[in-house]
Amino acid sequence: MEDQEIRKAGLKVTAPRVKILELLENSEQRHVSAEDVYRMLLSANEDIGLATVYRVLTQFEEAGLVEKHHFEDGHSVFELNKGKHHDHIVCVTCGRVKEFVDETIEDRQKKIADELGFQISEHDLVIYGKCLDDACERKP
Amino acid sequence: MEDQEIRKAGLKVTAPRVKILELLENSEQRHVSAEDVYRMLLSANEDIGLATVYRVLTQFEEAGLVEKHHFEDGHSVFELNKGKHHDHIVCVTCGRVKEFVDETIEDRQKKIADELGFQISEHDLVIYGKCLDDACERKP
DNA sequence: AAATAAATTGAGATACCGTATCGTTGAGAG
DNA sequence: CTCTCAACGATACGGTATCTCAATTTATTT
């Protein structure tokens, strides 16, 4: 049950939080924006304000339940935290997102930060490209 | 002379473009936001509108004269294009930015994109961390 | 050098994303 | 069940970036 996860995060179990968490868990796309979530809630006839969506997603992020990413187009997306770090590759045309992990890159990053006198808190590698999928089209 | 570069970019040589390019070339910081540029112009008693600053920077970007980067805090910065690709490491506290290049990482990226069926157009690796500089302080 | 056509400009309006405020509601401890 | 404080929805707001449009400027043509 979602209730447990929310409680564990130190948050009260409220309808919006449960609904949003459910939605994230059952969503087709792993990467959704706050607006996406809001629209999905409307479709589901849930009466939840946009401000609450942002609030809840931010709280979930602080609690480590979801991760937030800022892509170059200025769009922020949230995704359920699977607990495993990964980077993203985004199609510049259709917006499709894939995930990947590469130990070599991870190691090099640590080394570089070390050399430059930084203590890594996090990082974001995003590769932008054109995917070769047949259905790749610019979104409307 | 800046005129040449602007002309080569296919743009008319106008006062705002020359001033902005000069400013980028002589600026202390390599990484400046549009607002930064605007404020610098005001200080220099130039009568150039904010909209123009955005327009010119965007044109410069399209012409390849500058590069634009979107950091996680939602801040965009521009920097003169030295023609050489590099990535960034940003201090989460003081905002200091350093650049680096790592061939190993570059290679791995190409390989990953290949495997996932993407044709890389560009990429952005940003490492966020805490720098160990003595003067590191949160900005006012 | 003057005329002209096209591009560019500044000011302000506007769009956009995300945050803050505020009065109301409801979760959950006692 | 009652009470208190956190959480809520609505809406105003803030900062960044873009759009609109009349006025100006560029650079080409006379």
Residues at the strand D interface (Cβ < 7 Å):
A 11-12, 14-17, 47-52, 55-56, 74; B 7, 12-15, 33-35, 50-51, 54, 58, 74-76
- Give mean pLDDT, residues A20-34: 93
Fold of B1-82: Arc Repressor Mutant, subunit A (1.10.10)
| Separation of alpha carbons B73 and A122, rounded Å | 13
With a cut of 80, say whether residue B139 has pLDDT above it: no
pLDDT for B97: 84
Report CA B80 to chain centroid distance, whole Å: 6
**Residue A140: is its pLDDT beyond 50?**
no
CATH number of this structure's domain A84-140? 3.30.1490.190
Distant-in-sequence, close-in-space partners of B55: CB < 8 Å, separation ≥ 6? none
Residue B133 pLDDT greater than 70, yes or no: yes
**Residue A138's pLDDT is what?**
56
Per residue in A59-116, pLDDT tens? 999 999 999 988 767 778 999 987 678 888 888 777 778 899 999 999 999 999 999 9
Average pLDDT on B21-41 reads 94
Q: In chain B, positions 80-99, which contact chain A (CB-CB < 8 Å)?
A: 89, 91-92, 98
Identify the three-state secondary structure at position A67: strand
Start-end ranges of CATH 1.10.10.10 in chain A? Answer: 1-82
In chain A, ranges of CATH 3.30.1490.190 domains: 84-140
Does the nearest atom of strand C lie within 7 Å of B9's Cβ? no
- Distance of A108 CA from C8 C1′ (whole Å): 46
Question: Could you tell me if B85 and B101 are in contact, meaning their C-beta atoms sit under 8 angstroms apart?
Answer: yes
